[in-house]
Each structure stands twice: as C-alpha cells, then as structure tokens.
Amino acid sequence: MTQIGGAAWVFGDGVDTDVMAPGLYFKASMDVMARHCMEAIDPEFAARIVPGDIVVAGRNFGVGSAREQAPMALQHLGVGAILAESYGRIFYRNALNFGIPTLVFPQAGEIAAGDRLCIDPLAGRIENRTQARTYTVAGLPEHLLAMIAAGGLMPYLKQRIAARGAS
C-alpha cells in the first residue's frame, strides 16, 4: 500500500459510532447497515461515496460506544482512509483492525468537502491536490500497513499462521 487517493468527505467534531452504525440496523446485514452509515448527518453519504474516498473529521471521531460495526460500515463502503484531528480510542483501533488507514491530522479543518486528496500512509504525507497544499503527519508503521494490506487484523493473522504452517 503506497498511496490512497479520493475525494474528501468532511465531518465536524464528535461524530459518534451511533451515527456510523445506527442501532436500528444491528440485526440487519452489513450491506443494510452500511447503507445507513452517517445518514443522520449526511443522508447522501452512503449512496454517493466512491471506493477510495477519504473521510476527514474534527476532534473525537468515533467517540461513543465500542461498536465494531462503525468501522465495518465504513470499510464496507470502501472508505480509503480516515483523517481526523483525534479519535475515540476504541474506534481508532477497530478501524485499523478492519483495514482502514487511520491518521491523526491536526489540519483537518483546512480540507473542504470534495477536495481531491492523495495520502501516503507510511510517510504520513497528505497532498490536497485541489488546494495545492501538502501536509506531513505521523505515518503508520510498516507492520500496521501490512495488516491493512491484508484486509485487517483477522486476515493478516490467518496469513501469518498459514505461512508458519507451510514452513
């Protein structure tokens, strides 16, 4: 995984996991859950997001209950990466575990909806091609990028176990 590119979907502070994965749809399939992701704050999000697009948010993105369905819904929709000023701690780890590159981005407020972004998650380089601006943040370590490239924690562990069994 070298670069991720897509349009920015911009949200504010305090977007909680209940908005990403509404409890009303917990007994439904992930396809149904994902169709309702973020609908309380952007009813068009799930229908219009394109795989590879990037979620950009303010402080405490993913705050609230520790529901794994929140990052699962974003992953199901094809979100390429998440950039936020800060995260709910459990959401941050769950997003990485489900294979979504998740970077702390203090300048998130400088990104406008629809801006074309290109991210190098290892280098921590974020290029806003629309505004011709480049930012540098803490990148993700190689072992986490390997996990993300495998599709998340569980597929990564299965690959590692299989590789050990083959040797």
| pLDDT tens, residue by residue, 21-52 | 999 998 999 999 999 999 999 999 999 999 99
Angle between helices 142-149 and 89-97 (to 10 degrees): 60
Per-residue model confidence (pLDDT) at position 66: 83
pLDDT for 167? 64
Distance of CA 133 to the CA centre of its chain: 21
Q: What is the pLDDT of residue 1?
A: 57
* Residue 134: its H or E element: strand 133-136
Which residues, including other chains, have CB under 8 Å from residue 145's CB and lie 6 or more apart? 1, 101, 121, 122
Nearest partner of 53 among 19, 5, 101, judged by Cα? 5
pLDDT band at 2 (very low <50, low <70, confident <90, very high): confident
pLDDT averaged over every residue in the chain: 95
50: left (phi over 0), alpha (psi -120 to 50) or beta: beta
Q: Which domains are delineated in the chain? A: 4-166 (3.20.19.10)
Pairing of strands 125-128, 116-120: antiparallel
CA distance linking residue 53 with residue 110, whole number of Å: 17
Residue 54's closest CA among 93, 84, 90, 12?
A: 84
pTM for this prediction:
0.94
